[in-house]
Structure 1
Amino acid sequence: MHIIQPSTLSFLSDLAEHNTREWFGEHKQRYDAARKDFICFLDELLQEVQLFEPAAHNQQGKDLVFRIYRDVRFSNDKRPYKDHFGAYITEGGRKSTLPGYYLHLAGKNQSFVAGGLWYPPADQLKAVRQELDYNLEEFKAIVEAKEFTSRFGAVQGEQLKTTPKGYDKENPAIHYLRFKSWNGIMPLSDETVLSAGFMQEVVNAFKALKPLNDFLVQPLKDMGKAE
């Protein structure tokens, strides 16, 4: 079982403090080693996730990882690099807008596991809200289950301050209908990330996220059939 190396987290911590092209260039070998370490972990993780999630099939660790380089063209934050590694498992690959499983690796106890649907396009947002309106009890059973709450607490995500168009403020599902994203997020300490049990910790978290992802993806797949 692959174990994340301390040097990987120390590189990410140092990058957060020295986020310049000059520093990165001088420490390119450290970056390459850290990225390789993360990808080796992901390759093994995929083998485990494939046992319960079909979307993990026919993917490789290197295909899950987001680029370290930031797009600063339209941002006030001009730091050239992300200070973390991020990987996303979902049907259609890491750039897909479908629900999936996310692993965020960073130094200084900033790592986390997450899943669900992240800021979907308007048509998908509408479809999920309709599903929530029709099947509130099913959704509540998922996000209120001990397997979910013990790891992620309550569902997280940005919410509207007003009532979504087409819905009444007295709707029993209004709390969840106001969300723009529906996510489970579980923080990870550096101690956990560097432990021999980290792989199983991530696998168990992804298993706990699967019912949420399955619920959220269904209306999006139904959209595809209707088109």
Structure 2
Amino acid sequence: MNFDSLFKFLTELNQNNSKEWMDKNRKWYKEIRDEYIGWLNDLDLALAAVDSEYYSTPGKKGINRINNNLMFHPNKPTYKDHFGAGLDKAPNTGDFYIEIGLSRSMLAGGIWRPDPKTLRSIREAIDYDGEELKKILNKKSFKETFGELVLNETLKKAPKGFSNDHPHIDLLRNKTFAVMHPLTQEEILQPGFKEKVISVYLEMLPFRRYLNKAVTV
């Protein structure tokens, strides 16, 4: 994958963010998109080789639309400034997310703002064996890779059914359970970038498996 070309395309798209420009450059967009899908296909196979429970997700299935949803976000530009994709995308579970863009690039995973039923399942798992999740989160290599949980939104008090003095109240108050590893353009353009992605995937895996077990068992 020539990520230099991908960044060049996104730069010009960002400077000319309109359907008219996209229509004139549709062939270029499809070339970049198809190459990215091919890279995702290779990564899909590589992740399946290191994770026996991996859920095969071909690039065409994992890649996100580049159009912003203007119906719900009318003030956003017509097109995103990144290419995003989710792999290991089993139904009703949190995937492994890859975002490569101009303003932000990252590897992320977990479950972002789950619906009430899913959130309840995660909280029940934490109530049952929250020490296991804390062990994962506090592992030295995990903290060096991801830092803390993404704090999207938290409750001020304990959620319904849990006490304020619960030993894992700091986790129970979260509404999002996800982690993120930022990427620089320099890292993405390095020859060993795919190996970097695989290493981050493996570091994140126990965290994602904990959450996925909580919402599927």
TM-score category by the smaller chain? Answer: over 0.9
Q: Secondary structure at the match of 1:86?
A: strand
Residues 116 and 212, structure 1, Cα contact 8 Å, conserved in 2 = yes
Per the normalisation by structure 1, the TM-score is 0.88
Could you say which residue in structure 2 is the equivalent of 1:18? 16
Conserved 8 A contact 2:106-2:180 = yes
Question: Whole-Å Cα distance in 1 between the matches of residues 28 and 89 of structure 2?
Answer: 31
AA of the residue aligned to 1:43: N
AA aligned to 2:214 is P
Counterpart pick for 1:154 among 142, 148, 152: 148
Count of residues paired in the alignment: 215
Deviations 1:68-107 (A, max 9, x none): 1222112232422122111112343xxx441120000102
- Give the alignment partner of residue 107 of structure 2, picking from 110, 113, 130: 113
Query: Runs of 4 or more off by more than 3 Å in structure 1?
Result: none
Q: Is the 8 A contact 2:19 2:78 kept in 1?
A: yes
Root mean square deviation, CA, Å:
1.6
Query: Larger RCO: Structure 1 or Structure 2 (Cα < 8 Å, ≥ 6 residues apart)?
Result: 1
Displacement after TM superposition at 1:134 (Å):
1.4
Amino acid of the structure 2 residue aligned with 1:54 = E
Aligned position for 1:56: 55
TM-score using structure 2 length: 0.92
Question: 3-state DSSP class of the match of 1:135?
Answer: helix
Partner of 1:114, secondary structure, is strand
Q: Which residue of 2 aligns with 1:198?
A: 193
Q: 2:211 aligns to what?
A: 216
Aligned pairs for 1:46-195 (under 5 A) are 46-51=44-49, 52-57=51-56, 59-92=57-90, 96-108=91-103, 110-158=104-152, 159-195=154-190
- Distance in 1 between residues matched to 2:63 and 2:122, nearest whole Å: 27
Residue 42 of structure 2 corresponds to residue 44 of structure 1: yes
**1:29 Cα deviation from its structure 2 partner:** 2.3
Give 1:193 deviation, angstroms.
0.8
- 1:53 is displaced (CA, Å) by 5.0
Structure 1 residue matching 2:37: 3-state secondary structure? helix
Percent identical residues: 29
Structure 2 residue identity aligned to 1:20: S
- Contact 1:120-1:181 at 8 Å conserved across structures: yes
**What CA distance in whole angstroms lies between the structure 2 residues aligned with 1:132 and 1:70?**
35
**Deviation of 1:15 (Å):** 2.0
